[in-house]
Amino acid sequence: MDLEKKRLEIPFISPILFLGLISLLLTISVITNSSIGKQEIMNWEVKLADEQLIYPVGKTFELHLFVLDENGEPLPDVNVITEWFFNDYSHKQVMHHIESGLFEAEKKLPEEGEWTLLVEVESKRQYYEQVLSIQAIEKY
């Protein structure tokens, strides 16, 4: 009889608590494998391929960027994401690798003015961010 009472007193973990614990562990795993767990690089460089800083409003254009390492050599094995900012507008965009450190993406700027372009470059263990300023004008 005493043995049966002791079995009933064993703590029970509810399925909801168990799933919550699993979710927490998965979230921690994802965070440590994201850019938070990566080393920030300070001496990579992002350059506009055509060095054009003025683009047309409302017309689609191709943005080309070179991504270079600390020695000025192309970085082909990285992911490049741009984020465009203007007033309340922001838009993220994945750039496509063309060749030897050259990346491209099509973009249409809906408003005239000075746009901020945040370029995020990530490899397996490292990341780099650079901010560029782009001007959009009506009469191009």
Where do the structural domains in the chain lie, given as residue ranges?
2-37, 39-137
Residue 107: exposure state from Cβ atoms within 10 A (0-12, 13-18, ≥19): buried
Q: What is the pLDDT along the chain (140 residues), one digit of tens a residue?
A: 555 555 555 455 666 666 666 666 665 554 544 546 788 988 999 999 887 778 899 999 999 999 999 999 999 889 999 999 999 899 999 999 999 899 999 999 999 999 999 999 999 899 999 999 999 998 75
Q: What is the pLDDT of residue 91?
A: 93
Give the span between the Cα atoms of 122 and 18, in whole angstroms: 34
- Tracing tokens 């099509």 back to the chain, one arrives at 106
Give the span between the Cα atoms of 82 and 36, in whole angstroms: 18
Q: What is the pLDDT of residue 139?
A: 74
Q: What is the pLDDT of residue 130?
A: 96
Q: Which CATH superfamily is domain 39-137 in?
A: Macroglobulin (MG2) domain (2.60.40.1930)
Q: Which residue in 36, 48, 58, 69 sits closest to 131, CA to CA?
A: 48
